[in-house]
Each structure stands twice: as structure tokens, then as C-alpha cells.
Amino acid sequence: MGPVPVLSLVRGPPAQRAARAADVMVDVTKWPLFSLMGPEALASVRRACVFGSSANEAIYITYDDERLLETTWTRMSPVLPPHAQVHVFGLNCSSCLGTGDSQSTIVPKKLDFLSGRKVTSLSYGSGPHVLLATADGELFSWGHNGYSQLGNGTTNQGVSPGLVSATLLNKKVVQVACGSHHSMALTDSGEVYAWGYNNCGQVGSGSTANQSTPRRVSICLQNKVAVGIVCSQTSSLAVVDNGEVYGWGYNGNGQLGLGNNGNQLTPCRLVGLQGLCVQQLVCGYAHCLALTDEGELFAWGANTYGQLGTGNKSNQLSPVQVLAERERVVEVAACHSTHTSAARTQSGQVFMWGQCRGQSLVLPHLTHFSCTDDVFACFASPSVMWRPLALEHDDFLTVAQSLKKEFDNPETADLKFCVDGKYIYVHKAVLKIRCEHFRSMFQSHWNEDMKEVIEVDQFSYPVYRSFLEFLYTDQVELPPEDAIGLLDLATSYCENRLKRLCQHIIKRGITVDNAFSLLAAAVRYDAEDLEEFCFKFCVNHLTEVTQTAAFWQVDGNLLKDFICRASRCGAFRN
């Protein structure tokens, strides 16, 4: 399992930084846990994070004061307005949900202890354990604590959020980061604190003894002002205000980027990035990605799955440039529970590489995604989030959504159809744009062009309404029996795509009782593919189909043709 190992140091005023962070919108239901929630509950989610060894835990934040929608930002970390509520659900391994017990829950529970607090930073480790910092600078921890990674001086599991106060009483924490079983905190004055598991020196204390409470990482950073911190599994890194990068801890795969593979018990500067100003730094399981203020991407560390994007699987002990031939990179992504990497360019192209759904991509692969978060939802194993998602909800509608909203709206319509005595309100321009039949109809020499109401008597109301709605939405929702009528309309109006959709609905809804009726319809409307499908279904269920009313009510010639065809297929052999 991993943390949310993101350090983003975008320069510029808060409003400008916030705008850059909201460049893309993310669908949180791409993570299976959130697909369990209904639309109303999803609409209230403002921040979300999926974590756990199998992406089986989730934490999300809502707020109920809609008057306070403006968001302030600190180092690209969203600060929630008052009345924030923290909710959790999932498997609850090692009590990482903080609900006071070890019981799993598929129904979200509210962490009352954190109600009303503004969350500025969130991270998680492999146990898993969770760190959460508030706008007031308070630091809370809960979950797995076998190595004192909760920083409370014990190794007792934290079943509820606890305040980490030792040595941090008068400090204001602005960012947190978790390794597998160690933790780090960054204060507003640029001081770095670390604690927990220290077998490789990842706490930066100069020894390999575990650290049960937060301890300042002072050696080599004493006179430096850190502006960001990140962790891989058993390594730690920090960026200082001049863009230099320092690393310490495990280095067996070169993940510290120092040019060797020896562990470091205290911070060491990455000389391979000398002269560069690092703007964003992220860590994977055992590799790192750095983005400079000029949009250059560098990678180093483990490369078993091609996660460095260099075209091979050889580890790199020093930073190497990636995507050099591409346009400026504006965001990089990695998560220390995965071996996956991603990047987004200035034009919005999203690349991924490394371990992606079991495959090893050794070179950056251009995806169809609009944000790096989708890479981890769809291709990472486990499909955790590489950072907490900021979900902004507004009233903006896409063109497709606007069209769908205006269908059958009498307030904006300029034409209505009367079918079976019922009206359907539409827009003449939309019909002309979407359908050749209406382009021909609405010409000056056609009577219909002058009418405000058009009577339709050859099709039923459900069928014709569904057809008109299809022109607005590209979607059809009808039972298979009504889809037969819509198939007739699609054939008459030469709407081939609609014809295919009807056939799909009929195939999906075929049963023993309606199979022969559907076969008859397919024959009548020359839908050869559908006819073959229905015929095979009838033959495979011959005994049951021949006992239905539909079988004996069909035209005699069709019945004869079916019997002859079924006989040739051997349906009546003893």
C-alpha cells in the first residue's frame, strides 16, 4: 500500500494556482468503491481518496454550507470551508478507517471527531495508516502502528483519529507524507519531521533505530527551508525553496538518485539535478519522477516494469530525462503502492508507462484520458489514488447535456408532434441537423414546414417519442417489444445507427416468450443479423418456443420457412 505522495510547488497567486488545479474534471466513480454511491451522495463529495492494499478503503469529505464554495490553496493542497464532514467506508484493514473499531462497512460512516475541521493535507501508508493535517496546523493519525508510524509514542493500533502532539505542539503542519511504515510532516516554517520505521534510515536521524515520535530532520536540512516532502516505500525526499532535492533512506534501486545504490541515514543532495529547479516531485514504489519549472521530466530508481519510461528495464542510479522530444510537461504522477507513472503535457495529452494492468510499458504511451488520475483508476494495480481528488461541482453543462435537458421542453420548443393524442415538444433546427428525413421535410414546398403541430399516426407514442429523444441524446431506452416498432421507424427513415441500437436492445431482451415475435420482426424489417440471432435462439430453445402463443400466431409462410430452416440445421433429429 502507499501514500498520496504528491508534492506540487506551482508558483503564482492562490487563485491562479487553484485555476491550474481545476483544469480537468475527474469522475470518481471510475474507482469501484465510489460506484456504490448514489447520484445524490456523489454530488456532495468535494475531496476523495481511495487507498488500501487492494484499493478497498476510501475517505471523502463533504461540506454543507453552499455559500462558501470559494476554495483557498496552500502548496496546491485544497483547504475546505467550515462545516466540512469526513466520511469513510471500506474494508477497514488495521482500523485504517478510524471508526473506533475494526469492522468493515459498505455504508459510509462519519468521523465526528474531525467534523468542521479544514483538511489541508492527507496521506496514507501500507499498513495502512493515515495522516491528516488541518488548516489550523493540527496533525491527526490513525490505523496501523506496528512501527510507531502514528507518532504517538506507542505501537498500539489507532482505531480512531488521534492528535500527534509530541514535539509538534507549537508547530503548524502544512503537509504530510507516508512511506510504507514511516511518516513525515512539513511545517509552515519549512522544517521536516519524520518518525516510524527506520530500518534503512528513512527517518533521517543518522541511525536505523525506529522513531516513536516526530523528530526533526536537521542534518543537512538545518539551514534549508523545505517546501515539500514525499516518500517511496522506505525512502524519503524533500524539495527546498531553491528547487534542490534531498533524499535519504533505502537506495538499493537508486531511488535516491545519488549515482549509487547505498542507503543513506541522513539527507543527501541530488547532484544530478544541479542547476535545475524542481517544481513537482512524486514517488512510486521504488522510483521517482521530478518535474522542473521549465517543464522537463526526470526519472530515476527501479525500472523492473519500465516505470522510468526510458525504453528499457534497467535501473537508473541518477536522474535521466524522459519525454524530452515532447511538449512541455505540466504534471507528473506516481504512487508508492504501484509501479505506474503518468504525465500530462501543456496541451492536455496524458501519457502512462510502467506496470499498467499487468503489462510493462517501457516507453510513455499516449492515452485517451484527460487527467493523470484516470490512469490510476483504470490501469494501476491496485487502483488507488495517487493524490486526493478535488471534485468541483458547478452548473456548467456540455453541449450534449444541454440538448438532453431541452428535449420535450415546451418553454423553448418551436414545434410539437401529436402522437396518440399526446404532444412531444421539439426544436426544428435540432431535427434538421440530426436527421435527413426532417431535413427533407422542413423545406418550403412541404406542408409540414409551415405547421406548428405535426400529426403522426403510423407509429405509437412510445416509439416516436423514443426516436425524437434519440436525436437529442444518441441513446435509446425501450423494452424489446417496443424496440420492434422503433426498428420499423429506423428502417423507414433510413436511420442505420438507430437500427443497430434497436437490434442490440432486442438481442439483450430476447426471451422464450417473445423470441418468435422478434424473429418475425427481424424478417419483416430485413435485419439480417438480428434475424440470424433470433433464429438461433429459437432453435436452441425449440421445445419451449413452440409452446408459446407467439409461435402459433405468426404468418403461416414464416412458420413454414422456420420449420424448413430448422430442419436443415438438424433441429428435429431423433
With pLDDT > 90 as the criterion, what percentage of the chain qualifies? 65
Could you read off the pLDDT of 48-68 as tens digits, one per residue? 999 998 999 999 999 764 333
Whether residue 372 is found in the same domain as residue 498: no
Mean pLDDT within 323-352 = 93
The b-or-e profile of 296-325 (16+ CB within 10 A means b, else e) is bbbbbbbbbbbbbbbeeeebbbbbbebbee
- Is a pLDDT exceeding 50 seen at residue 379? yes
293's CB contacts (< 8 A; 6+ apart) are 11, 243, 277, 278, 279
On the question of pLDDT at 445 being above 80, the answer is: no
Enclosing H/E stretch for 523: helix 515-524
Cis peptide bond N-terminal to 388, omega within 30: no
**For residue 485, which amino acid is it?**
G
**224 near 268, Cβ under 8 Å?**
no
- List, in sequence order, the alpha helices (H) in 262-355: none
My answer on whether 365 and 428 are in the same domain is no
- Which of residues 359, 390, 421 is at a domain's end? 390
Tell me, yes or no, whether 280 and 354 share the same domain.
yes
Q: Is residue 193 part of a domain?
A: yes
Predicted confidence (pLDDT) at residue 423 exceeds the cutoff of 90: yes
φ/ψ of 3, rounded to 5, equals: -95, -170
Helix (H, G, I), strand (E, B) or coil at 540: helix
Write the pLDDT tens digit of every residue in 313-323: 999 999 999 99
pLDDT tens digits along 169-179: 889 999 999 99
Structural domain ending residue among the three candidates 390, 410, 431: 390
- pLDDT at residue 82 tops 60: no
**Average per-residue pLDDT for the chain:** 88
* 337 and 408 fall within a common domain: no
Q: What is the dihedral of CA 68, 69, 73, 77, to 10 degrees?
A: 110
| Cα–Cα–Cα angle for 492, 493, 496, rounded to 5 degrees | 100
Question: What pLDDT score does 24 carry?
Answer: 47
Q: Which of 340, 358, 390 is the last residue of a domain?
A: 390
**Measured between alpha carbons, how far is 566 from 545 in angstroms, rounded to an integer?**
13
Q: What length does the chain have?
A: 574
Residue 170 has a pLDDT of 87
Confidence at residue 267, expressed as pLDDT on a 0 to 100 scale = 98
What's the one-letter identity of residue 199?
N
Is-contact 51 128, C-beta < 8 A?
Answer: yes
CATH of the domain at 292: 2.130.10.30
Nearest to 123 by CA among 303, 3, 298: 3
Torsion of CA 514, 520, 523, 525, to 10 degrees: -80
Residue 457 contacts residue 438 (beta carbons within 8 Å): no
Identify the helix (H) or strand (E) that includes residue 15: helix 14-21
- The reply to whether the predicted model has a pTM over 0.75 is no
119-138 per-position pLDDT tens digit: 999 999 999 999 999 999 99
Residue 76 has pLDDT above 60, yes or no: no
* 328 and 310 assigned to the same domain: yes
Under the banding of pLDDT at 50, 70 and 90, the label for residue 11 is: very low
CA distances from 281 to 71, 195, 207, 396, 445 (A): 24, 21, 25, 33, 67
Q: State residue 15's pLDDT score.
A: 29
Instruction: Give the model's pLDDT for residue 399.
Output: 86
Model pLDDT, residue 72:
29
- Domain membership of residue 382 (yes or no) is yes
